[in-house]
């Protein structure tokens, strides 16, 4: 059940990330063309590009976490199942700490920046920092999913 929900969520997020990446490319392209071809500085394009970049990086990090494509180092030979299981538990706990920091202090940062304004876009500066706790929440869901999968599969 959890995996079915996360699979649907992942497909939706991947679509949104693709559109966001396209918007980032178009924004930067417009900024370069306006500055170099038309000699018109478009200040809002820099702020929009930074906003899109922030969202793409953090939500993309959550997607990479789910796929297990962050950097890992294999230090245990394949035959050592007990030590591998212990290291997996340590990895889950370390991930939980990082996720806690992203959620807890991400929301604190969003609250602090809520009164600031991105002048060129006319929106709250909180939008620039909101991807941090959202990334943490997505990673939490994905950590629960992978932990359930690991428990069902058992030690190897």
Percent of the chain with pLDDT over 90: 76
With a pLDDT cut of 70, the percent of the chain lying above it is: 98
Task: Give which of 76, 50, 58 is closest to 139, Cα–Cα.
Answer: 58
Chain mean pLDDT for the chain: 92
Q: For residue range 73-131, what is the model confidence (pLDDT) as tens digits? A: 777 787 888 888 888 899 999 999 999 999 999 999 999 999 999 999 999 999 999 99
pTM of this structure: 0.89
Confidence (pLDDT) at 81: 80
pLDDT value of residue 101: 98
Q: What is the pLDDT, as a whole number, of residue 68?
A: 85
- Arithmetic mean of pLDDT, 37-41: 91
Q: How sure is the predictor about 11, in pLDDT bands with cuts at 50, 70 and 90?
A: very high
Q: How many residues can be counted in the chain?
A: 156
Q: What is the pLDDT of residue 73?
A: 72
How does residue 41 score in pLDDT terms, banded at 50, 70 and 90? confident
């Amino acid at each position: 059940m959890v995996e079915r929900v996360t699979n649907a969520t992942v497909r939706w997020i991947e679509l949104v990330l693709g559109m966001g990446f396209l918007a980032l490319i178009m924004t930067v392209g417009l900024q370069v063309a306006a500055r170099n071809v038309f000699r018109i500085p478009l200040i809002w394009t820099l702020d929009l590009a930074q906003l899109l970049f922030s969202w793409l990086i953090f939500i993309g990090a959550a997607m990479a976490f789910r796929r297990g494509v962050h950097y890992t180092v294999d230090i245990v030979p394949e035959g050592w199942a007990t030590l591998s299981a212990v290291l997996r538990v340590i990895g889950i706990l370390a991930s939980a700490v990082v996720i806690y920091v992203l959620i807890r202090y991400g929301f604190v940062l969003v609250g602090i920046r809520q009164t600031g304004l991105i002048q060129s876009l006319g929106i709250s500066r909180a939008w620039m920092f909101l991807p941090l706790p959202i990334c943490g929440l997505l990673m939490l869901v994905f950590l629960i999913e992978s932990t359930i999968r690991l428990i069902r599969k058992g030690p190897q």
